Chains A and B, each alone.
Chain A
């Protein structure tokens, strides 16, 4: 692989830095608050795609539960902002609670009076949940398809929960804090360049952090576990431990996305915990290339950008096109656009690396090996 510049680490870092610099400079060209806000939304989606790329592309854990971390953080942030609006004396509880006969603020809401504690919970609760859920799954050596289905079921459970616990969550209507987020005596207007930069900063720092991590020995071992967990185990690695750490990291990334989302949208509802949304995130990562963090970002920007612009033009056939793109990517570009670039750059360097992508089959290939032998 020496010849292919795609695998050159210096080149990779250069491209990553250039991409984030370009994102940070975009407000120069797009001064419109609408465009900035839209781009900030894409950054949030990109961050979600990065979290999937990390957990699926690098660690081989297909999590359909990223929406859980996103949604929990989004609820945490919305609750923080809602309580900033409430007044302890004259208006101590959000008005939707009245529908449900609540007369005092429920216990789960009380900590959100304090913005710092609210923020800690916003990031902490989803991460801790992912640690616990991860321990639950990986200690039992759940793998492959079963991870997908368990995370799917868990997402459905949380959706029902957010939906049903109306005294605490306002149910389907969701929570829309009337005022933007206040911090350090400033109001973060969702349509300002500042809010955009907050999102870009989260995306850049977390992506670069993940990128660095995947280049350390930790990242190497995580990828080794993806290829053959049992082999890694017999080399002395505690596979479940590694998987829980990666899973929790991806949860933290998704939680950060949830935080940014409510910052720039000022609204959360159970749709943030929907299965459809959760699978969409995986699709963005798949389109861009799950084994490349930058690829995942590009995938998220591309699909959502097309949805915003092409989707309006082609309205009725748009979903047909979207479906066809997904099928096409899965069939012909299993490593997404990033894999395509890898192939093209490989051609330029004179050596073509064959595409192998059967690692995600896990058990199936193990069985085949055995019977072939």
Chain B
């Protein structure tokens, strides 16, 4: 089969040269390299794939910095399994096309064992095909909508179901049942809103309006027009990025009162409140697993250590950075566990790390937000969501923290699709489907 295909092409395209090289692969993948992913005596290479330039750099540059900070910390403490970690940092330039180009460079050329990267779902989906085709391992360290069930991505940010579980009942209890949903116009806000509706129903709340603005859109008057008509008890916001800042500024200009109708957001963190000015942010609520002001020794060490290091130029820590920081430690523990299973570091493959990552725990001594662990079925993270209220200095005061860890459920609102397990999506008809995107 292979030979005949080759002969055919040879005639058609490039004649005898093909035979000269003996190029063994045409439409089929290059046979796997025999070389090990990690070489004894060398360094362990990991990919760092965020945007350092362009409009996404605002957030993703911090992600790069915090990954480097975590790796420095790990190396200073003896590395992983006695080996030093070497980050391969690439710049995705805020361009979706470049994400897909750079991930293939990391996997195929640089042969990193795992990659940390991405802040937007779009970038995750752009890298997913090759990550899955090469059975690689990708750590996606931020909020995420779920509904996927892949065997090559580990997520260390909160899922939609983890966000809403505490926030919605809290808001309804304190401000009233009527909610107006405002989000950026893409999938994550829509999924988050669906989860929010599930919880609203349970606590007797009611949706009085739902609106989406384009990404980067900054005109909220038409929406506030409808909000004024509906008189909701609070606004539930999944508006991201620059739009989020415009939302808060225009909220203030429109004369809404934060004690009457506050915004409960899944996105407005320390970076955003600083950029919108203190008076625009103060009084609103945020659901996140982490706040810079959390009071525990680990967080104190993390904030002080990070801000004092050469990576801490941004001046704040926030939930996205902390989740990224955690992902590096999740990976570290994964490699160590895989080594224990395989016996030889040269035997360790990306997929092996992923397969042993279930139940891996990052303890109080490392995790600034407190103990977290990876779900053994769907490889998302167990965490304690918290609710913070923005103060006049742009920092958040934690006013409610979950007592128990909340489990991640990527299929929470799609039970009819099946259950996500380690080996794939177990569909209702009994079949198992892998790589569900």
Q: Do A and B bind each other?
A: yes
Q: A195 an interface residue at 8 Å Cβ cutoff?
A: yes
- Mark A residues whose CB is within 8 Å of B: 21, 24-25, 27-28, 31-35, 37-38, 41, 90-91, 95-96, 98-100, 160, 163-164, 166, 170-180, 186-195, 197, 200-201, 265-267, 269, 271, 307-308, 311-312, 315-316, 318-319
Contacting pair A315 B125 (CB below 8 A): no
| A164, closest chain B residue (CB) | B185
Q: List 12 A-B contacts (CB under 8 A).
A: A24-B13, A99-B187, A166-B187, A173-B121, A178-B435, A189-B29, A190-B129, A191-B108, A265-B100, A307-B93, A315-B53, A318-B53
Q: B436 an interface residue at 8 Å Cβ cutoff?
A: yes
Q: Would you give the 0/1 interface string for B97-111, flagging 1 where the beta carbon is closer than 8 Å to chain A?
A: 100110011011100
User: What's the Cα separation between A106 and B146 when bound, in Å?
Assistant: 23
- Residues B87-145 near A (CB distance < 8 A): 90-91, 93, 95-97, 100-101, 104-105, 107-109, 120-122, 125-126, 128-130, 132-133, 145
Residues of B within 8 A of A175 (CB): 125
User: What's the Cα separation between A171 and B212 when bound, in Å?
Assistant: 12
Q: Which of B53, B96, B104, B148 contacts A271 (CB 8 A)?
A: B96
Residues of B within 8 A of A163 (CB): 185, 214-215
Interface of A is mostly: helix
Q: Which of A99, A186, A187, A189 contacts B190 (CB 8 A)?
A: A99
Residues of A within 8 A of B5 (CB): 186
Contacting pair B28 A32 (CB below 8 A): no
| B148, closest chain A residue (CB) | A95
Residues of B within 8 A of A316 (CB): 53
Residues of A within 8 A of B25 (CB): 189, 192-194
B236 to chain A, nearest CB (A): 17
- Mark B residues whose CB is within 8 Å of A: 5, 9, 13-14, 17, 20-21, 23, 25-30, 52-53, 90-91, 93, 95-97, 100-101, 104-105, 107-109, 120-122, 125-126, 128-130, 132-133, 145, 147-148, 185-187, 190-191, 194, 214-215, 414, 417, 427, 429, 431, 433, 435-437
Given contacts A195-B27, A318-B53, contact A312 B126 (CB under 8 A): no
Residues of B within 8 A of A35 (CB): 109
| B413, closest chain A residue (CB) | A98
Contacting pair A174 B53 (CB below 8 A): no
Q: Which of B52, B107, B431 contacts A315 (CB 8 A)?
A: B52
5 tightest A-B CB contacts, nearest first? A194-B26, A266-B129, A34-B108, A194-B27, A172-B186
Q: Which of B13, B97, B104, B122 contacts A37 (CB 8 A)?
A: B104
Contacting pair A312 B28 (CB below 8 A): no
User: What's the Cα separation between A267 and B90 when bound, in Å?
Assistant: 20
Residues of B within 8 A of A265 (CB): 97, 100, 126, 129
Residue from B23, B97, B215 having most chain A Cβ neighbours under 10 A: B97
Q: Which of A31, A191, A319 contacts B23 (CB 8 A)?
A: A31
| A177, closest chain B residue (CB) | B129
Contacting pair A166 B121 (CB below 8 A): no
B369 to chain A, nearest CB (A): 27
Residues of A within 8 A of B122 (CB): 172-174, 269, 271
| B147, closest chain A residue (CB) | A95
Q: Which of A25, A32, A90, A173 contacts B125 (CB 8 A)?
A: A173
Residues of B within 8 A of A269 (CB): 96, 122, 125-126
| A41, closest chain B residue (CB) | B101
| B97, closest chain A residue (CB) | A271
Given contacts A28-B20, A174-B126, contact A193 B53 (CB under 8 A): no
Residues of B within 8 A of A176 (CB): 125-126, 128-129, 437
A43 to chain B, nearest CB (A): 13
| A265, closest chain B residue (CB) | B100
Known: A99-B145, A163-B214. 4 other contacts (CB 8 A): A100-B190, A176-B129, A188-B27, A197-B14
A82 to chain B, nearest CB (A): 9
Residues of A within 8 A of B108 (CB): 32-34, 37, 191
Contacting pair A25 B109 (CB below 8 A): no
User: What's the Cα separation between A31 and B21 when bound, in Å?
Assistant: 9
User: What's the Cα separation between A271 and B13 when bound, in Å?
Assistant: 33
Residues of A within 8 A of B52 (CB): 315
Contacting pair B194 A99 (CB below 8 A): yes
Residues of B within 8 A of A180 (CB): 129, 133
Residues of A within 8 A of B132 (CB): 178
User: What's the Cα separation between A251 and B217 when bound, in Å?
Assistant: 30
Residues of B within 8 A of A90 (CB): 427, 429, 431, 433
Contacting pair B101 A186 (CB below 8 A): no
User: What's the Cα separation between A176 and B90 when bound, in Å?
Assistant: 22
Residues of A within 8 A of B126 (CB): 174, 176, 265, 267, 269
Contacting pair A173 B109 (CB below 8 A): no
Given contacts A96-B187, A98-B414, contact A193 B91 (CB under 8 A): no
Given contacts A27-B21, A192-B29, A311-B93, contact A172 B109 (CB under 8 A): no
Residues of A within 8 A of B101 (CB): 38, 41, 308
Q: Which of B9, B53, B147 contacts A319 (CB 8 A)?
A: B53
Contacting pair A98 B417 (CB below 8 A): yes
Contacting pair B187 A186 (CB below 8 A): no
A18 to chain B, nearest CB (A): 14
Contacting pair A189 B187 (CB below 8 A): no
Contacting pair B100 A173 (CB below 8 A): no
User: What's the Cα separation between A192 and B31 when bound, in Å?
Assistant: 10
| B90, closest chain A residue (CB) | A312
Residues of A within 8 A of B125 (CB): 173-176, 267, 269
A16 to chain B, nearest CB (A): 16
A3 to chain B, nearest CB (A): 36
User: What's the Cα separation between A190 and B103 when bound, in Å?
Assistant: 13
Residues of A within 8 A of B128 (CB): 176, 178, 267
Residues of A within 8 A of B29 (CB): 33, 189, 191-192
| B433, closest chain A residue (CB) | A91
B232 to chain A, nearest CB (A): 23
Contacting pair A186 B28 (CB below 8 A): yes
Residues of A within 8 A of B435 (CB): 178-179
